[in-house]
Amino acid sequence: MGIVKAIKLVHDYYKYDESGHVEGTYRALDNVELDIEAGQFIAVLGHNGSGKSTLAKHINALLFPTEGALWLDGMNTTEEEDIWKIRQKAGMVFQNPDNQIIGTVVEEDVGFGPENMGIPTDDIWQRVNESLEAVGMTAYRHHSPNKLSGGQKQRVAIAGVMAMHPKCIILDEPTAMLDPNGRKEVLRAVKELNEKEGITVVLITHYMEEVVNADKVFVMDQGKVVMQGTPREVFSRVEELKSYRLDVPQVTLLAYELKQAGVKIPAGILTTEELVNALCQ
Amino acid sequence: MIRDITIGQYYPADSILHRLDPRVKFVGTIMFLVSLFVANSFWGYLLATVFLAAVIIMSKVPVKFMLKGLKPLFFILLITVAFNLFLIPGKVLWQFWIFKITQEGILQAVKIGIRLIYLVIGSSVMTLTTTPNQLTDGLERLMRPLNKIRVPVHDIAMMMSIALRFIPILMEETDKIMKAQIARGADFENGNLIQKAKNLLPLLVPLFISAFRRADDLAMAMEARCYHGGENRTSMKPLKYHSRDTSAYLCIFLYLAADIAIRVLI
């Protein structure tokens, strides 16, 4: 069994009318099957309302399945007594950097998780130092989070999760509110954690460019996992992606159009270099 | 414009007072306030003045900043002094229509005036030398015994520190919404008081909505990081007493003892 495994995962949101009665349900997750191996870099793609954030919150036991089940590192998320262990092992980074930083000083925020876990003071300091170093924010440790850029704030948030020594990090659209530079900064930090520390990464996004380097891509639409495979496999199905209101990276689209027009190049080209090489052959 | 407001009034400097444990400063301030009400004679007030002056010099904070705290209290001060001056019966020194100034009145007015001024300066010494964070930490530790009577001390302290963290963010947001509404023709400047208050509505509604949304997000982020109240929680920066804190406690108690001695003996 992989580090994250979901079987027939269903989640219904209830709509209430004014007097508090259930008016109807909205199925955010519909029979999701998922198996993620430890150490992988996973990307989950999907349009707004495709259920990808709901899925993320299930991995961290912030939401519980209506039907089916989800296991994290062998622990069922519905087991009440495992809930804090699950949240420690699966760290979560949210979209809005301002709304997830609790401390008034960078280093205090990074220490927040370990404090909650009841780690002794000396160990907290060691974890904080290591985590800040891992995301390259050591120089800002005494700064107020309010004075940092968006990318820096997200790196602090990642450090805050790292200090809890998770096995898996779930990033729920971490770059949606950042400028291009901040986006690169954050992705580089995440990639490094995945490669150097061997942490499983689940990156949820709707930016195609961010998933090119992933080991596996899941595409979600209306609560279902509709496509999965390596980025190359997924991106070679341009028409299908378009039907889920997703855009493929520009290079991939160009290569696809060229192929349609009769140029002989392989399917699923992901980078500019690949396209150049394919065309020059 | 709105961003210029500073939170708390911490004045960064490197003095012995800045380095003292926040608990010492808190207890010390309360002791000083008590001493002001114990003191009732010239010598008592002289002692308080000397003590306060010594503390101010030690704090390395310019006196200007201490006096700033008096400004908003000016009217209260004026009214209190005036009431004492005119309404205390005794030996009449000067009289005009219904206003009488008595010897006792003057004495009482001076006393009250000094007490109020020292009270404000004394507490601003604490807020000027302690960061808001240290203050909440100190308060949490001092109030810990109240846990026994089911006062949620940790939760209150956590709320205070989150409020402190979000004040600048909400300020920025207010500024943003204000500009957006001005761009759409909202008027926050003109009109009488009632109109002005009414005009604030398009500012307050979006601000509240956004604040609730943020609170929701933050609660989820805290839960995701294993926050489950104060139980079994350790501290990254635990408060520890040093020898300087012990000496400071000693000084404060000696001062209070001297103050009481003066009251009793003289």
For residues A159 and A151, give the distance between their C-alpha atoms in angstroms, rounded to a whole number. 12
Determine the Cα angle at B115 with ends B112 and B117, to 5°. 110
Q: Which chain A residue lies closest to B159 (C-alpha atoms)?
A: A102
Instruction: Give the distance from residue A83's alpha carbon to the nearest chain B alpha carbon, in angstroms.
Output: 9
The length of chain B, given as a count of residues: 266
CB contact under 8 A, A87 and B226: yes
For residues A74 and A86, give the distance between their C-alpha atoms in angstroms, rounded to a whole number. 10
Q: Which residue has the tokens 């855009």?
A: A247
User: For A141-180, how does the pLDDT look when each residue is reduced to its tens digit (9 = 90+)?
Assistant: 888 888 889 999 999 999 999 999 999 999 999 988 888 8
Quick one: pLDDT at residue B8? 57
Q: Label residue B131 by pLDDT band (50, 70, 90).
A: confident
Contact predicate A26/A11, CB 8 Å: no
For residues A240 and A259, give the distance between their C-alpha atoms in angstroms, rounded to a whole number. 16
Interface test with B, best of A104, A143, A169 (most B CBs within 10 A): A104
Percent of chain B with pLDDT over 90: 25
Neighbouring-strand partners of residue A14: A25
Q: Which B positions 125-154 lie with beta carbon below 8 A of chain A?
A: 132-133
For residues A193 and A134, give the distance between their C-alpha atoms in angstroms, rounded to a whole number. 7
Q: Does B193 touch chain A (CB under 8 A)?
A: no
From chain B, the residues in CB contact with A104 under 8 A are 132-133, 161, 164-165
| Between residues B149 and B187, the one the model is more confident about | B149
Q: What is the distance in angstroms between the CA of the first residue and the CA of the last residue of chain A? A: 43
**Positive or negative: CA dihedral A192, A194, A195, A196:** positive
Quick one: pLDDT at residue B9? 67
Quick one: pLDDT at residue B212? 93
Q: Is the pLDDT of residue A71 over 60?
A: yes
Choose the closest CB to B165 out of A102, A111, A121. A102
Q: Label residue B6 by pLDDT band (50, 70, 90).
A: very low
Q: Which residue has the tokens 């009449």?
A: B92
From chain A, the residues in CB contact with B161 under 8 A are 104
Q: Is the pLDDT of residue B121 over 80?
A: yes
CB contact under 8 A, B224 and A105: no
User: For B107-116, how does the pLDDT look when each residue is reduced to its tens digit (9 = 90+)?
Assistant: 888 888 888 8
Determine the Cα angle at A67 with ends A65 and A73, to 5°. 50
Q: Where in chain A do CATH 3.40.50.300 domains reside?
A: 38-59+75-236
Contact predicate A184/A192, CB 8 Å: no
State the count of interchain CB pairs (< 8 A) between A and B: 88
CA B148 to chain CA centroid, Å, is: 27
User: For B30-89, how does the pLDDT look when each residue is reduced to its tens digit (9 = 90+)?
Assistant: 999 999 988 888 888 999 999 999 999 998 888 888 887 777 788 888 898 888 888 777
Identify the CATH number of the domain defined by range A38-59+75-236: 3.40.50.300
Q: Which residue has the tokens 């030996």?
A: B91
The pTM (predicted TM-score) of the whole model is 0.81
CB contact under 8 A, B226 and A103: no
Mean pLDDT computed over every residue of chain A: 88
Query: In the structure encoding, which two tokens stand for residue A65, read together?
Result: 């399945």
Q: Which residue has the tokens 């350790």?
A: B234
For residues B262 and B256, give the distance between their C-alpha atoms in angstroms, rounded to a whole number. 10
Q: Is the pLDDT of residue B129 over 50?
A: yes
Mean pLDDT of B245-260: 92
Percent of chain A with pLDDT over 90: 30
For residues A110 and A114, give the distance between their C-alpha atoms in angstroms, rounded to a whole number. 8
Q: Torsions phi, psi of B186, nearest 5? A: -70, 150
CB contact under 8 A, A92 and B224: yes
Quick one: pLDDT at residue B2? 44
What's the complex ipTM?
0.86
Q: Does B3 touch chain A (CB under 8 A)?
A: no
Instruction: Give the distance from residue A260's alpha carbon to the nearest chain B alpha carbon, in angstroms.
Output: 46
Instruction: Give the distance from residue A3's alpha carbon to the nearest chain B alpha carbon, in angstroms.
Output: 18
From chain A, the residues in CB contact with B214 under 8 A are 96, 98-99
Mean pLDDT of A33-62: 89
Element (H, E) at A196: helix A180-196
For residues A234 and A196, give the distance between their C-alpha atoms in angstroms, rounded to a whole number. 26
Query: In the structure encoding, which two tokens stand for residue A273, read together?
Result: 């270099």
Q: Is the pLDDT of residue A229 over 60?
A: yes
Instruction: Give the distance from residue B116's alpha carbon to the nearest chain A alpha carbon, in angstroms.
Output: 33
Quick one: pLDDT at residue B256? 92
Mean pLDDT of A86-102: 91
Mean pLDDT of B112-121: 88
Q: Is the pLDDT of residue A11 over 90?
A: no
Instruction: Give the distance from residue B248's alpha carbon to the nearest chain A alpha carbon, in angstroms.
Output: 26
Q: Is the pLDDT of residue A126 over 80?
A: yes
Mean pLDDT of A15-42: 85
